[in-house]
Amino acid sequence: MGDYGFKILQDENRTPGTRVCRDGVHFGFYASRGICPALLLYRKGGEEVAATIDFPEPSAPGNFFSMKVKLPADEYEYNFLDGDEVVTDPYARRLAGREVYGQAPSLSPHGLRGAFVTGNYRWGQDSLPKIPFHEAVMYHLHVRGFTMHKNSGVRGKGTFSGLRYKIPYLKSLGVNQVKLMPVYDFAELKIPEYLFSHCFSGQDLKNGNSSAAVEALTSQKEILAHAFDRSHMSENDFQKNYWGYGPGYYFAPKASYAASERADIEFKDLVKALHMNGIEIILEFSFDADTDIGMICNCLAYWAEEYHVDGFSIVGRDDLSAELAKLPLFESRKLICSWFPDGIVKKNTKECKCNCKTRLVSQKHWIAQSNDGFMNDARRLLKGDIGTLDAFRYRTRQNPTGCAQINYMTNHDGFTMLDLVSYNMKYNDENGEMGRDGSDSNFSWNCGEEGPCAKRRISQLRLQQRKNAYAMMLLSQGTPMLLAGDEFGNTQLGNNNPWCQDNERTWLDWSRSKTNRELTEYVRELLAFRRKHPMLHQKSEPQCSDYRSTGYPDLSFHGERAWYGDIRQSSLHMGCLYSGVYAGEQSFLYIAWNFHWEEQQFALPLLPDKYAWYRVMDTSLPNSFPQADEPEQLEDARSFVAPPRTVVVLEGKE
């Protein structure tokens, strides 16, 4: 192996991966074979090796090798040769060979290659919005599915560029934070196990090699490192990993999510545009169980520095939360995990004196926990399960000190909001797993008929239930997370685990925004109402006490009698009174939650002199928010009746 005329320099930089420098391109690689690896260079877009360059012997003992090569980075791509195995750089910052989404992979070991990040991106005056969690409204989406539908009305459908076209919509809705499902490069094609018998020779199967093949093909290299006879397979035989969770090239933006050939630049354009509109961007990462903590820390720091992302949501690795929370990175970036140990949360708080009463307050609010707790309790109450009211009373005020709380009613792995009120059962047969996939505990209710229904009575009830569900999220403390498309009636026809469905089942049909305007407008108005009233999204959890001696607690619960929250096993209704003075407001909010199938009476606490109660929201009405200049004043200041399955909000003001 020769140097092919390239100038090669010893490099003491022990950073894995590549970096284009003035005096050459740095290459760093951990060899696994105990022998000196080599660099393979390819002309841009080609699979034929143009040069093979041995790494110099390292100056320090170990399996890390580095060197600097003088070459025109825009003209070349690369891999590493580790023994006799061609290895695509796990630290690659760009990938070549996967530019077309869903295209069958090349069988050549040179089909997937690393590419270089060249040029200096002009960020201009870009800065992080730094929105506190208690003021954030999160919107969870899949980059491809968000704009891939023919009705999306954007250029560059299914790409970072297509998402950028939708920023005005997100801003008008009231969203200030987007959370993206994986956008690092992953292999979206997978060979189903039942096809392995067609992919390997009879001799392989006879020798018992099929299980080894299964293990190898589901590893990070997937199909690319294996040559097999695909003559019996068609394009449709591959199963798609549409969501993207699992192994991937964690440093490289997904090439097929770009409308241009430079996914890195297109993604930076997206981040910059979001920040200009006051919207943060959170990236989901699903690290493989074998990914070491050092690589993970390097990865997150790289995305923060190179792409200016605002935070990260770590999926499926609960063991990482404690270690990651200690990183200096998360003093300025957000970290979301399913849970954090008590020690981390307590360390993230300090004591202060407030009106002679010692309270715990957060020093920094950069970590948040996101799990199904709120969703499960809220869904059970929404459908009318007995014995669930007390759990929701806890959830509606939950906002732990030192750790924010993410609340959602729907997530990517479950029913959409419309399906939640339209199906009692999941319908996942098309996923190819005989209906065994997806959760069986959806806590859903079809409102009287399974699936799509044209009956006006059922359609109206389903709309009202969705309004109630949004009220549960947006009128509770914590950070609400909306699932993309729920606000205009997105449906997956009962599929609660469409991880492999890259089609109109998972692509958002934007034509529904015309037929679901009432719901979309309701969500927009409800988000505006939440922003207007800081008492609905306070910095810390309400204490349910009058610690400022105002005559009213910050939060209190009521029922058929004022000041007596009736949480009997059979109860399905309660009233919540917020005193705005604790959040800098001069008004009160009374939220009447009635999840009973019959109307219920609510007692109202007395207001200060010259104050009166006004009805400002009622989910049983087509126009759930009356005109602000014509609020309905309650005739009886002591009680009122809420219709069945309805959320009513009253405002007490002068």
User: The domain that contains 332 carries what CATH number?
Assistant: 3.20.20.80
List, in sequence order, the alpha helices (H) in 308-423.
321-325, 342-347, 373-383, 389-397, 417-420
In this structure, the answer to whether residues 114 and 144 fall within a common structural domain is no
pLDDT at 237 over 90: no
Would you say 396 and 475 are in contact if contact means Cβ atoms under 8 Å apart?
yes
Place of tokens 């049909």: 509
pLDDT at 352: 55
Tokens of 273: 């545009």
Tokens of 20: 């284009």
Pairing label, strands 479-483, 138-141: parallel
Residue 408 in domain: no
pLDDT at 354: 55
d(CA 339, CA 143): 26
**Nearest residue to 381 (alpha-carbon basis) of 370, 368, 395, 371:** 395
pLDDT at 483 over 90: yes
- Nearest 10 degrees: CA dihedral of 540, 472, 318, 412? -140
| Residue 4 pLDDT grade (very low, low, confident, very high; cuts 50, 70, 90) | low
pLDDT greater at residue 228 or residue 264: 264
Of 320, 340, 370, which one is at a domain's C-terminal end? 370
In this structure, the answer to whether residues 320 and 308 fall within a common structural domain is yes
Least confidently predicted of 8-17, 223-232, 498-507, 627-636: 223-232
Residue 212 in domain: yes
Place of tokens 């090796």: 49
Residue 411 in domain: no
Residue 152 in domain: yes
Q: What share of the chain is helix, strand, coil (3-state, %, to 5)?
A: 25, 25, 50
pLDDT at 274 over 50: yes
In this structure, the answer to whether residues 168 and 198 fall within a common structural domain is no
Task: Find residue 19's DSSP bridge partners.
Answer: 26
In this structure, the answer to whether residues 180 and 320 fall within a common structural domain is yes
CATH number (domain holding residue 571):
2.60.40.1180
**Nearest residue to 9 (alpha-carbon basis) of 56, 42, 63:** 56
d(CA 559, CA 573): 7
Tokens of 13: 């930089």
In this structure, the answer to whether residues 262 and 314 fall within a common structural domain is yes
Residue 497 in domain: no
In this structure, the answer to whether residues 140 and 286 fall within a common structural domain is yes
Q: Residues near 24 by Cβ (< 8 Å), separated by ≥ 6?
A: 7, 9, 68, 69, 70, 71
CATH number (domain holding residue 4):
2.60.40.10
Task: Give the count of domains, the chain.
Answer: 4
pLDDT at 42: 97
327: buried, middle or exposed (CB in 10 Å: 19+, 13-18, 0-12)?
A: middle
pLDDT at 356: 42
In this structure, the answer to whether residues 193 and 313 fall within a common structural domain is no
List, in sequence order, the alpha helices (H) in 102-195.
143-147, 160-165, 167-173
Residue 606 in domain: yes
d(CA 8, CA 22): 14
361 C-beta neighbours (distance < 10 Å), count = 14
pLDDT digits (tens, 9 = 90+) for 189-234: 876 655 544 444 444 433 444 444 444 444 434 443 343 445 455 5
Pairing label, strands 138-141, 177-180: parallel
Q: Tell me the chain's radius of gyration from C-alpha atoms.
A: 28
d(CA 165, CA 172): 13
- Got the DSSP string for 297-314? HHHHHHHHHHH---EEEE
**Nearest residue to 323 (alpha-carbon basis) of 311, 340, 310:** 340
pLDDT at 582: 96
Q: In what order do the strands lie in the sheet with 17-21?
A: 7-10, 64-70, 24-30, 17-21
In this structure, the answer to whether residues 268 and 356 fall within a common structural domain is yes
d(CA 336, CA 315): 9
630 C-beta neighbours (distance < 10 Å), count = 7
CA distances from 621 to 518, 568, 595, 618 (A): 11, 28, 16, 6
In this structure, the answer to whether residues 287 and 330 fall within a common structural domain is yes
pTM above 0.75, yes or no: yes
Tokens of 522: 């309701």
Average of per-residue pLDDT across 257-261: 97
d(CA 342, CA 638): 43
| Residue 527 pLDDT grade (very low, low, confident, very high; cuts 50, 70, 90) | very high
**Nearest residue to 98 (alpha-carbon basis) of 186, 230, 214:** 186
pLDDT at 235: 58
What's the chain's average pLDDT? 89
Q: Residues near 540 by Cβ (< 8 Å), separated by ≥ 6?
A: 359, 360, 361, 362, 399, 401
- Name the residue range of residue 259's domain: 133-185+251-370
In this structure, the answer to whether residues 159 and 305 fall within a common structural domain is yes
pLDDT at 507 over 80: yes
pLDDT at 61 over 90: no
pLDDT digits (tens, 9 = 90+) for 100-130: 999 888 889 999 999 999 999 999 999 999 9
pLDDT at 361 over 50: no
In this structure, the answer to whether residues 287 and 178 fall within a common structural domain is yes
172 C-beta neighbours (distance < 10 Å), count = 10
